[in-house]
Structure 1
Amino acid sequence: MKPTLRQLEYLVAIADSGRFSEAAERLNVAQPSLSTQVADAEAQLGATLFERSRSGAYPTPIGEQVIRRARYILRQMEDLKEIAAHGETGLFGRVRLGVLPTIGPYLLPRCTKLMHSRFPDLRLSINDAATDRLASLLEQGLLDAAVSTLEDHPGCVGVTLFSEKLWIAVEPDAPLASTTRPVTLEELKERGFLTLGLGHRLTKLVQELAYRAGGYVASDYEGTSLDAIRHMAALGAGIAVLPDLYVQCEARRDDSLVFRQIDDPRAGRDISLVWRRQSPIREGLELLAEIMQDAARRVL
């Protein structure tokens, strides 16, 4: 006999939660039943997959390898279901879409009407997360696609939706607010920059920008959102560095700040719709990308 798909789901759930009880609750099964199935899988494989203790359950070295392959097998099964549900080119049913929090609220509302029109049977399940988290979810097969930066998703392919520049936002009394022309890196020397926390591609861009400009990222404040960064800049806490889509859709209505585009070819990023290389709904995602491209073009 071989481990069943259900047993593989149990193994992955235990590895993710670190406890048999939490895995059982997550999967809506009784813990004794889950424990029995895991023990059966271990017997069939002839190996102990978890080290049990009062503090939790931890994969053994062989368990790590088995669980890694279990994730792959389960992902392939999900792809098989997608082929049957969606067909080769259409988008039907639930599609799990990850999106950067610096993009989703400003792009997706402008796509919704046309998406519903072209794909009336499509139900998008949206997961808003930082770049690192999106990469992990996509790799594990927990997302079908993501609106993100392609370079942060090795092994994935995608379609570029748009390229956006970065802007600074400063309070009206700041020296940098005397003009709205593009700002040079030289003008940003020794300035403090405000940005999001770790795990965001935008944070990496701001860190690199600060280094090249001879400035620094303010260590006493990390914004939880672009709005938070903008408000801190209005209070004089530093220079907010904001992406183009957010500035055009939201920030420029704020008359408590002055906005200047950064005059540097590396002060920007390419946003793409990305998916796993072997995705069974690739053609449908390409159609979805066209809708997003059009929405971004109207804004930028």
Structure 2
Amino acid sequence: MELEVRHLRALCAIADTGSLHRAARLLGVAQPSLSTQLRRIEQELGGELFTRERTGCRPTPLGRVVLGRARPLVAEMRSLVAEARAAAADDPQLRIGSTASRALAGWLRRLRERRQEPVLQMDVSANALLNLVAEGRLDVAFVHEVEGCPLRIPSGLRLRVLVEREPQFVSLPNDHPAAARSVVRLSDLAEDRWMIDPTVDGEWDAVHRMLRSAGLNPRVLHGDYHTTASLVATGEVITVCQPTRQSGPESVVRRLYGDPLGVRLLLAARTEAELDGVYPDLAEAYRETAQQSPAYREWLEHSGVDNPVPALP
């Protein structure tokens, strides 16, 4: 077996995510396939590259040596592919990646008014989208970085902060006892079941840390956004949510007392020019969305924030 760039990319993904499961998802392969590939790489190199622990995978001394050589090679190959694709591309469409956001509709509408129809790729994993930008498969990505869980920024990417700290709210069934208040304490939710999407980078860790800091140990279910919204509406669970989410006939959005959880909103591209071309439309769309959400608008007024998106110098 001869080592190839894809093998080095797999090793970097395992080290970056700290988990075979998360690395497999990032690479778009099945976990058993990645496990088999890792065993073959270790056999080829003559030793274990990672120790398998209850909390995940950790590089061995040999693994650290190999990763030290692998990372610059993988980064250089990404740059080569990105430059080649850019030079060969004859499709001027703007390729956008994004995690979930209500600002997307307004952003895409504004872009359509000024250029061709953008191509949109959604993913719950901000890290996966950033890798696609670094590889030249996306032009820009709008992503959320959960507080306390830094994203793994590929080398060569340019970042622009849209919102330094967006507070996360809570979504409750409309007949929940706490729904009658505009601000909810975590202690008011001690007996509830929570639902979290574990595939969102950093979200489970951050929510678990928030609950633990409040002295809570509630029952937690795992599910995607759509399942979560359905179960909130039927009174089965509660969940954290973006402040731009609006209340509906079956669920309400409320601020959490003390704003214990936040995210940073980032725009990523390979060049400053690409950021300049899309940032103003995104900023305008986000401001519009923030004002359309009563709970978020009330939070902004209470916090004395006139504009959630600071003007660029």
Structure 1 pair 141–56 and aligned structure 2 pair: CA distance change class (3 A): farther
- Structure 2 gaps, min length 5: 12-35, 46-64, 291-313
Change (3 A) 1:54 1:258: closer
1:176 pairs with 2:182: no
Please give the per-residue CA displacement for 1:209-243, whole angstroms capped at 9, x wherever unaligned. Answer: 21222223533x21111x32122123332322211
1:259 Cα deviation (Å)? Answer: 2.7
Corresponding residue SS for 1:111: helix
Distance 1:85 1:298, change over 3 A: farther
Aligned ranges for residues 247-258 of structure 1 at < 5 Å? Answer: 247-248=245-246, 252=247, 254-258=248-252
Residue of structure 1 in register with 2:103 after alignment? 107
Q: Residue 75 of structure 1 aligns with which residue? A: 78
CA distance in 1, matches of 2:171, 2:214: 16
8 Å contact from structure 1 (residues 193, 218) kept in 2: yes
Mapped contact 1:192–1:218 kept (Cα < 8 A): yes
Task: Report what 2:211 is aligned to.
Answer: 210
Percent identity over the alignment is 17
Secondary structure at 2:250's aligned position in 1?
Answer: coil
The alignment's C-alpha RMSD in Å is: 3.7
Can you list the C-alpha shifts for 1:122-180, whole angstroms capped at 9, x where unaligned? 75352423234335445555544321135413455422223533222222333223x13
Within the alignment, does 1:295 sit opposite 2:257 as a pair? no
Could you tell me whether the CA contact under 8 Å between 1:15 and 1:58 is conserved in 2? no
1:11 to 4, 22, 47: 4
Tell me what 2:119 maps to: 124
Residue pairs, 1:89-104, within 5 angstroms: 93-100=92-99, 102-103=100-101
- Residue 96 of structure 1 and its aligned partner are, at CA, apart by 4.1
How far 1:273 sits from its partner (Å)? 0.5
Q: Which has the larger radius of gyration?
A: 1
Where does structure 1 lack aligned partners over 5 or more consecutive residues?
A: 1-9, 19-52, 87-91
Instruction: Give the AA of the match of 1:168.
Output: V
Whole-Å separation in 2 of the counterparts to 1:171 and 1:123 = 36
Map of 1:134 onto structure 2: 129
Q: Tell me, yes or no, if the aligned pair for 1:133 and 1:199 is still in contact at 8 Å.
A: no
Q: Superposed, which structure 2 residues align to 1:143-158 within 5 Å? A: 143-149=138-144, 151-154=150-153, 156-158=157-159
Tell whether 2:272 aligns with 1:269. no
1:165 corresponds to: 167
Q: Give CA deviations for 1:1-44 in whole Å, capped at 9, x if unaligned.
A: xxxxxxxxx933566799xxxxxxxxxxxxxxxxxxxxxxxxxx
Q: CA deviation at 1:266?
A: 3.2
* Deviation sequence 1:89-145 (CA, Å, 0-9, x none): xxx725543321x32xx222212232133334x753524232343354455555443
Seen in structure 2, the aligned counterparts of structure 1 residues 193 and 108 have a Cα distance that, compared at 3 Å, is same
Q: What is the rounded CA distance, in whole Å, between the counterparts of 2:74 and 2:92 in structure 1?
A: 23
Question: Which amino acid in the other structure matches residue 242 of structure 2?
Answer: P
Equivalent position SS for 1:269: strand
Between the two proteins, the alignment pairs up a number of residues equal to 237
Structure 2 counterpart of 1:242, one-letter code:
C
> 1:195 touches 1:203 (CA, 8 Å); kept in 2?
yes
Give the equivalent residue in structure 2 for 1:50: none
Q: Any conservation in 1 of the 2:140–2:274 contact (CA below 8 Å)?
A: no
Farther off after superposition, 63-72 or 168-177: 63-72
CA gap 1:96/1:258 in 2 versus in 1, 3 angstroms: closer
Change (3 A) 1:266 1:159: farther
Aligned-partner Cα distance in 1 for 2:128–2:38: 26
| TM-aligned CA deviation for residue 204 of structure 1 | 3.2
Q: Deviations over 1:66-100 (max 9, x none)?
A: 764443232222443477589xxxxx725543321
